[in-house]
Chains A and B, each alone.
Chain A
Amino acid sequence: MSADEQEQDETDRAPIPSAHQQPVTVTTGKHVSRRRFLGAAASGVGLAAVGSVSGALISRSARSQAAPARKATGSAVTGSSATHQWAMVIDLRNCNGCKLCTTACQRYHYLHQDQTWIHVFTMQSASGEPYFMPRPCMMCEDPPCVPVCPVSANFRTDEGLVLVTQQRCVGTRICMNACPYQARYFNWSAPVPAPRQPFPQEPAWPVPQVEGTVGKCVSCAAMLPSGRIPECASYCPMGVIYMGDLESDVAVNGIGNSVTLSKFLTENTAVRFKTTFGTHPRVWYITGHGQTLDMDKEVA
C-alpha cells in the first residue's frame, strides 16, 4: 500500500471533525453512520452464530470425553440423582435368529408385523457366514432424535431412557430422519386394537399406539421399576439380551444369569454400534462368531 493510499484509507476510516461537523461516534447513539451500524449489527449476528455453534460443539466434545471416564469408575454414571441408569447388553455369540424377542415385543405392545421395535438383522461376518443382530432402541446418551422434534415430543429421562409423548407428536417424522439406527417406527395406519389397559397411555407405557405418530422401543420402561426385565429379554430362550443398571452395576437376562455389568463388558470386549455418530448408546454388543472389529465401534 503506497503512502497516498494509506492516507486515503486513514481519512476514510476516521473523518477529521471540523468546526461544522460533529465527530462521528458510536457512543452518543445519535450519529451512528449507516456503515458503522451495519458493521456492528453484522458482527453481533456473527458472534451469536459463532457462540451457539461452538457452544453446541463444546458440550458435545465434553460429553464424549467424559463418557469413557465415567465407565471406568463404574459408578456415578451421569451425575443425576436418579437411582438407576438403564443399559442393555446383547450377547451376539448366543443369538440364533429365532426372533422370539420381536414377536414377544409386538404381542406385548400390540404392534403391527412391520413395527419391529426390536429388529433382528441378518448380517454377514468377514468369513461370509451369517449371524444375527437384534437392534432395540439404543437409548443414546446424546440422542439425535430429541433436538429435532419441533413440538418437544421426544425426551430423555433421568434414568437414561429416550421416550416419545405420542399425545404430543404431530408426525413430522424428522426424528426418523435423525435416528442413525432406524429404530423408529411410524403408525401409518390404525394401530392394532388393544384391550383396556391397567394404566393410561403414556410415554413409558405406549399401549395402544396412536395413529399418525412415531413409536419406538421403550425398554419396557413401565416394567423396570417393579424389577421386571423387558419382554424381549425375558422371552429370549438363548439368554442373549441382558437388562442392566449402570448404577448398581448388575445385568440380568431371561434365563436367570446375573452378571456384574462392568466386568462383563470389559471381559468380553463389548462394543457399541455406530459410535462415530457421537450418540453414546446405552446398548452394548458382545461380538462372537468370528466377526472382525472395525472403526465403527468403540471398545468399552
Chain B
Amino acid sequence: MSSHVESLGSAQRAWDPRILEPVEELTDAEEPPPAIEMIRSAAMRPVLFRPKWFWPAVGVLSALLALGFAAWVVQLRTGLGSAGYSDQAFWAIYEANLVTFIGVSYGGAVVSAILRITKTTWRAPLTRIAEATALVTLPIGMLFIIPHLGSSWKLWELIWPPYWNLSSPILWDFFAVSTYLLATCVFFYLPLVADLAIGAERLAQGASSPGRKLLYRAYRLLAGRYDGSLSQRRLLAGAIGLVAIMVIPMAVSVHSVLSFAFASSSRPGYLETIFPVYFVVAALYSGVALVVVVVAAARRLFHLEAFIERRHLVRLGFIMVALGAAYLYLTFTEYLVDSYSNTTGNAAWVYQTILGRYWMPFWFYFVAGGVVPILVFMFRRTRTATGVVTAATLVLAAMWVKRLVIVIPPATEPLVRSPFGPTGALGLGWGTYHFTWVSISITVAMAAAIPLLLLIVFRLVPILPVAEMEELAAAAERAAAPTAAAAAVPVARLHAGNGAPVGAADHAGNGAPVGAADHAEVPRGDGDA
C-alpha cells in the first residue's frame, strides 16, 4: 500500500475528496496494512485462490446431486408412488421440503434487508453471505415443485396463462415466489455492483489465465460504468434501500401464500387462520439458523475471522432465538386452541400429533427446535460460537421435521367417519406415509445443492461486501477522528473503461506492477480460478 502512495503528489491528495485514505495515515510507515486493503484482499481471496478442499468437496456434493437425479429418474419412470405417497398420504415430504427450502431463504431478507433498514452496522460483513444463501436456497426450494407434481412434464401448464385459475392458491404461489426470486436476484446484484468494480482490479493483477480473464470480463460487464463517484454511490444506496424495503413484504407474501395452499381447505390441521403468520415466522427462524451455519462455515473455511467475530454469530443467534421463541408460542397457540374445539377431526389430529402416532417428530421439534436454542442462549457458558452453531444446526433439523409434522398428519387423517354412530367409530383408518430411498435421495441431493452452489458463488464473487464495509469503516473513522478525516471520503474512486487511472489504487486494468506490500498479506494458494 505504501509503494503506490509515493507515486502520487501529496498536494493533490490533500484536497481530492475521492482518494483512498487521508495523507497522514499513508505516510506513516509504522502502520499495519490499512483496513480497506485487508477487506479487499480477504473478500477476493476465495475468488483468486482455490482452497485445497474445493474440488473434493465439489466432487462429494455433486455425487449426492447425481444420486438425487437418479432417484428422480426412477420416480419419473415408476410414478409418484415410489416416493411413498398414497391416497391417504397425498402430501408429504416434497411439500415439507418446498416449505423448508423456500423458508431458509428468508435469512437473507432478515440479515440483509431488515438489519439494513434498521441501520444495524455490525451486519455489514455478513450481508453478502446472507444474500448469497437466499439466492441459492430459493431456486432450490422452487425446484421441489418438480418432484412434487404428479406429471412434472406438464409443468409448463402452470405458467401457461390460458389455463390459469386465479382462485387457486397454487397460482398465487407461482406469482409470489417468482416475484420474490426476481427481487432476491436484484437484491443480490445491486450491492455487488461496486464490489465487482473493485474486484475487477484484483482480477487484473497477478497471474492471468483464461478462466480469470473470463471472470474479469464478467465483472466489468456486470459492474457497468460504475466508477465510485459520489452520485453513483448515492444512486446505488437509494436503490438498495428501496429494494430492501420491497423485499420484506414480498418475503412475507411468499410464505403467507404458501400457507394458503394448505389452509384453503376444510381439512382439520390445515384449516388454520394462524397459518400465514406461523409459516412466515418459521421461515424467518430457520432462515436465520441457516445464515448462522453458513456464516460460521464461511468464516472458518475462507479465513474471515478478522471480520466475522464471535459476536456476529452470537448476535445472529439472539435474533434466531427470539424468532424461535415466537414460533414456539405460535405452535403452542395452534395446538392449544384446536384441542379445545372438540370436533372429531381437530381433536383426533391434535391427539395424534402430540401423543399419538406422530409424537416422536413433534417432540423432537419441541426439544431441538424450541427448548434447546433458548437454553443455549440462557447461559453465558454455552453462548459461544460453538454453542450458537450447534443450536442453529439443531434448529435446521428440527424445523424440517416440524414441517413434516405440519404437512403429514392432516394429509393422513381420515375424513369419512361414521356420521351417525359413536365418534370413535372410524369409517377409514389413518393413512401412513412411508419414506423411501427415492424421496430421501432427492431431499438429500437438494440439501447438498445448497453448499455446492454456495461454494461456487463464493468462488465467483467477493465474499464480503467490500464497498459497504469500506463506507462503514470510513464512517467509523470519521466519527473517531472528525478533524483529520472529515475532508477525505476514504472510498476509492475507480476509473471506468479505459480512462487514465486516477490513483495508484486502480491501476489494475493496465497491469502495472504493484508493490510487494500489496500482496504481503495475501496467502498464496495452490492455484487460481
- Chain A residues proximal to chain B, CB less than 8 Å: 114-115, 119, 121-126, 128, 133, 135, 144, 147-152, 168-174, 176-178, 180-182, 184-190, 210-214, 273-274, 277, 287, 291-294, 296-297
Contacts and interface: CB of A to CB of B under 8 A. Distances in A.
Interface stretch (B133-141, B259-267, B312-320, B491-499): B259-267
A116 to B, nearest CB: 9
A277 B343 CA distance: 14
Interface in B144-165: 148-152, 154-155, 157-158, 160, 163-165
Contact of B79 (A152, A187, A277): A187
B78 interface: yes
A3 B277 CA distance: 41
Interface of B: 78-82, 85-88, 90-91, 148-152, 154-155, 157-158, 160, 163-165, 167-171, 174, 261-262, 264-267, 270, 411, 414-416, 418-422, 425, 427-428
Nearest to B85: A188
Contacts of A190: 78-79
Interface of B is mostly: loop
B310 to A, nearest CB: 41
Contact of A124 (B82, B86, B421): B421
A151 B157 contact: yes
A245 B266 CA distance: 29
B320 to A, nearest CB: 31
A3 B30 CA distance: 67
The 3 tightest CB contacts between A and B, nearest first, are: A171-B150, A188-B81, A124-B425
A180 B164 CA distance: 24
A267 to B, nearest CB: 20
18 contacts: A119-B428, A124-B421, A148-B170, A150-B165, A151-B158, A151-B160, A170-B151, A173-B150, A174-B170, A177-B90, A177-B265, A180-B267, A182-B416, A184-B87, A188-B81, A189-B81, A213-B151, A287-B420
B170 A186 contact: no
Determine the main DSSP class of A at the interface with B. loop
Contacts of B425: 123-124
A257 B157 CA distance: 46
A125 B265 contact: no
Contact of A294 (B87, B150, B419, B428): B419
A9 to B, nearest CB: 28
A152 B165 contact: yes
B245 to A, nearest CB: 12
Contact of A177 (B78, B270, B420): B270
Given A152-B165, A211-B79, A126 B266 contact: no
B265 A148 contact: yes
Contact of A147 (B165, B261, B266, B416): B165
B262 A296 contact: no
A291 B420 contact: yes
A176 B163 contact: no
A172 B149 contact: yes
Task: With a 10 A CB-CB cut-off, give which of B81, B85, B152 has the most chain A CB atoms.
Answer: B81
Contacts of B160: 151
Nearest to A297: B419
Contact of B150 (A123, A212, A296): A212
A218 B152 CA distance: 25
A178 B264 contact: yes
B94 to A, nearest CB: 10
B165 A149 contact: yes
Contacts of A274: 419
Given A121-B428, A124-B425, A211-B79, A186 B419 contact: no
Contacts of B154: 169-171
Given A174-B169, A177-B90, A187-B79, 14 more contacts: A123-B425, A126-B420, A148-B170, A152-B165, A170-B150, A170-B157, A176-B87, A182-B415, A182-B428, A188-B81, A189-B81, A212-B79, A212-B149, A291-B421
